[in-house]
Amino acid sequence: MKTTFLYCISKRITDIIISIIGLIVLFPIFIIVSVLIKISSKGPIFYKGRRSGKFERPFYIYKFRSMYLGSETLAGSTSRNDPRITFIGKFIRKFKIDELPQLLNVLMGKMSLVGPRPELPRYTKNYKDEELLILQVKPGITDLASIKFSNLNELIDDFNPDLSYENNVLKEKNKLRIEYVKSRKFWFDFRVILLTISKILFNK
């Protein structure tokens, strides 16, 4: 779990460079998605969700809005046939386009490209033992759990999404998050990024 100063510095520099390049290169996609969201349903383009960051400090994560306005107050998790998800939302979720605004979180230093996905405070407040290690590092856009549970909606029950997530997914996700915290190195981060790209493009 011990990490070097060089790793931490190089990781932050990499985060800044890639997030800036990503925001510039992907700007046309940001414009197109923003227009589609605005014409498809009422509400803002972006969704801001409160999450627990490093040392459990709260921050707001940015996403393209993929649900109808006010839907997030009903449940935190979503299922495969969740009626709260808009038509455009289904598309941008499938290809993880809704996550792209998190490059802003990375640039601002609240997140990293690779790290444990940030959870809702109501979950992190109950962390204990090794789960507390998850909160010792900066959360990320992608991690081992994101890759394994890339089709998370299919595992969540339509009747009670939150309860299904808590009982069937959260513990396994945290095991993978703990594994990352204990194993993180620059080459490991690079491997996670490659696996994430492969999963999105080829579902492998």
How does pLDDT run across 48-74, given as a tens digit for each residue?
Answer: 999 999 999 999 999 999 999 877 765
| Percent of the chain that is helix, strand, coil (3-state, to 5) | 60, 10, 30
Least reliable range by pLDDT among 82-86, 129-133, 134-138, 178-182: 82-86
Helix (H, G, I), strand (E, B) or coil at 46: strand
Tell which wins on pLDDT, 204 or 16: 16
Would you state the pLDDT for residue 165?
Answer: 86
Asked if residue 204 has pLDDT above 70, the reply is no
Asked if residue 24 has pLDDT above 90, the reply is yes
Res. 145 pLDDT band, cuts 50 70 90: very high
Domain ranges of the chain: 5-199
Q: In angstroms, rounded to a whole number, what is the distance separating the alpha carbons of residues 7 and 127?
A: 26
Q: In angstroms, rounded to a whole number, what is the distance separating the alpha carbons of residues 40 and 35?
A: 9
